[in-house]
Amino acid sequence: MESYLTSITKQFQYYKSLGDKTFNQLSFDDISWQSSEDTNSISIIAKHMVGNMLSRWTNFLTEDG
């Protein structure tokens, strides 16, 4: 179990670093831009992903998130 948790922690850190590098290249206007009223901006997509990850990883291995 410990190697699994170590592995997913490393994967999370890797993908977080990619996201951080991406956001560092964008201005606030870039992050807020929508191609149309029917699409989501990067900021809205990130907000949804944060909520999903909080739900998924809260009480990991003890509850079904």
pLDDT of residue 48: 95
Q: How many residues does the chain have?
A: 65
Contact 56, 65 (CB under 8 A): yes
The 10s digit of each residue's pLDDT in 23-63 is 999 999 999 999 999 999 999 999 999 998 888 878 877 87
Distance between CA atoms of 34 and 20, rounded to whole angstroms? 20
Reported confidence tier of residue 65, pLDDT bands at 50, 70, 90: low
CA 31/CA 64 separation, integer angstroms: 32
Res 57: pLDDT: 79
Helix (H, G, I), strand (E, B), or coil: what is residue 12? Answer: helix
One-letter amino acid for residue 50 of the chain: V
